[in-house]
Chains A and B, each alone.
Chain A
Amino acid sequence: MKVGIISFAHLHASAYAHYLMEHPEVELVAIWDEDAKRAVEMAEKYYCHCYTVLEEFLATNIEAVVVCSENAKHKEHVIAAAKAKKHILCEKPIATDLLDAKAMIDACHQENVVLQIAYPVRFSPVMQQVKKIIESGQIGKIVAINGTNHGQMPGGWFINKSLSGGGAATDHIVHLLDLTRWLLNDEVRNIYAELDTKFYDIDVEDCGMVSAELESGIIVSIDPSWSRPKTFPTWGDVTMEITGTKGDLSIDVFKQHLVWYNDRDNKVQQLPWGRDMDQGLIEDFISCVKEGREPSITGEDGFRALEVVKAAYQSSNNKKLVELDRIDL
Chain B
Amino acid sequence: MVKVAIIGVGKMGQRHLENWLQISNIDVVGIVGRDLDKLKRLAETYNTTSYLDIRSLLEDQKVEIVDICLPTFLHYEAMKEVIGTDEKVSIVCEKPLCLNEDEAKAILQLSKEKDIQILVGHTLRFDPEYAFLRQQIKQGVVGEVGVVRLSRKTSFPGRWFRDNDKSGGILLDLGIHDLDWLLWTFGDVERVLARHIKQKDDREFDYALIILRMKNGVIVHLELSWGESSLKSSFEIAGKEGLLVGNSDSKEPIQIATKQPNQSSDYLPKELVTESAIYKQLSHFKDCIVNGASPIISIEEAVKAVELAQATIFSARNGVPVYLAEEEVQE
Q: Which residues of A contact B (CB under 8 A)?
A: 140-141, 143-144, 146, 148, 190, 192, 194, 196, 198-199, 206-209, 211, 213, 219-221, 223, 225, 227-229, 231-232, 241, 243, 245-248, 319-321
Contact A243 B219 (CB under 8 A): no
Contact A229 B227 (CB under 8 A): no
B43 sits at the interface (CB 8 A): no
C-alpha gap A247/B205 in the complex (Å): 10
C-alpha gap A207/B223 in the complex (Å): 18
Extra contacts besides A196-B146, A211-B195, A225-B147 (6): CB < 8 Å: A146-B223, A194-B211, A209-B221, A221-B223, A232-B243, A245-B203
Please, could you name 22 A-B residue pairs with CB atoms under 8 Å apart, sorted by A?
A144-B197, A144-B207, A148-B149, A192-B193, A194-B219, A198-B218, A198-B240, A199-B238, A209-B220, A219-B197, A221-B223, A223-B147, A243-B207, A243-B227, A245-B203, A246-B202, A246-B203, A319-B191, A320-B330, A320-B331, A321-B193, A321-B320
Closest chain-B Cβ to A194's Cβ sits at a distance in Å of 5
Contact B321 A192 (CB under 8 A): yes
- Scan residues 215-270 of chain B and give those whose CB is less than 8 A from a CB of chain A: 217-221, 223, 225, 227, 238-243
Contact A231 B203 (CB under 8 A): no
C-alpha gap A299/B193 in the complex (Å): 32
Contact B147 A248 (CB under 8 A): no
Contact B195 A243 (CB under 8 A): no
B199 sits at the interface (CB 8 A): yes
B140 sits at the interface (CB 8 A): no
Contact B211 A209 (CB under 8 A): yes
B213 sits at the interface (CB 8 A): yes
Main secondary structure of the interface of B (DSSP, over half): strand
In the complex, which residues of chain B have a beta carbon less than 8 angstroms from the beta carbon of A319? 191, 321
Residue of B149, B220, B223, B331 most packed against chain A (CB within 10 A): B149
In the complex, which residues of chain A have a beta carbon less than 8 angstroms from the beta carbon of B221? 209, 221, 223
C-alpha gap A143/B147 in the complex (Å): 25
Q: Which residues of B contact A (CB under 8 A)?
A: 144, 146-147, 149, 151, 191, 193, 195-197, 199, 201-203, 205, 207, 209, 211, 213, 217-221, 223, 225, 227, 238-243, 319-321, 330-331
Contact B209 A219 (CB under 8 A): yes
C-alpha gap A208/B213 in the complex (Å): 10
Interface pairs A-B: 8 shortest CB-CB: A198-B146, A227-B238, A245-B202, A219-B195, A221-B209, A209-B211, A192-B193, A246-B202
C-alpha gap A241/B147 in the complex (Å): 19
Nearest residue (CB) in A for B202 is A245
C-alpha gap A147/B147 in the complex (Å): 15
Residue of A208, A213, A219 most packed against chain B (CB within 10 A): A219
Nearest residue (CB) in B for A213 is B195
Closest chain-B Cβ to A6's Cβ sits at a distance in Å of 35
In the complex, which residues of chain B have a beta carbon less than 8 angstroms from the beta carbon of A190? 319
Closest chain-A Cβ to B205's Cβ sits at a distance in Å of 8
Contact B197 A143 (CB under 8 A): yes
Nearest residue (CB) in B for A219 is B195
C-alpha gap A214/B205 in the complex (Å): 20
Contact with B319, one of A199, A213, A225 (Cβ below 8 angstroms) = A213
Closest chain-A Cβ to B316's Cβ sits at a distance in Å of 9
In the complex, which residues of chain B have a beta carbon less than 8 angstroms from the beta carbon of A223? 147, 149, 221
Contact with A196, one of B151, B209, B217, B320 (Cβ below 8 angstroms) = B217
Nearest residue (CB) in B for A245 is B202
C-alpha gap A223/B148 in the complex (Å): 10
- If A221-B209, A243-B227, A319-B191 touch, does A231 touch B242 (CB 8 Å cutoff)? yes
In the complex, which residues of chain B have a beta carbon less than 8 angstroms from the beta carbon of A245? 199, 201-203
In the complex, which residues of chain B have a beta carbon less than 8 angstroms from the beta carbon of A209? 147, 211, 219-221
- If A140-B202, A245-B201, A246-B203 touch, does A207 touch B209 (CB 8 Å cutoff)? no
Contact A229 B207 (CB under 8 A): no
- If A198-B146, A245-B203 touch, does A221 touch B227 (CB 8 Å cutoff)? no
Closest chain-B Cβ to A216's Cβ sits at a distance in Å of 12
In the complex, which residues of chain A have a beta carbon less than 8 angstroms from the beta carbon of B220? 209
Nearest residue (CB) in B for A247 is B203
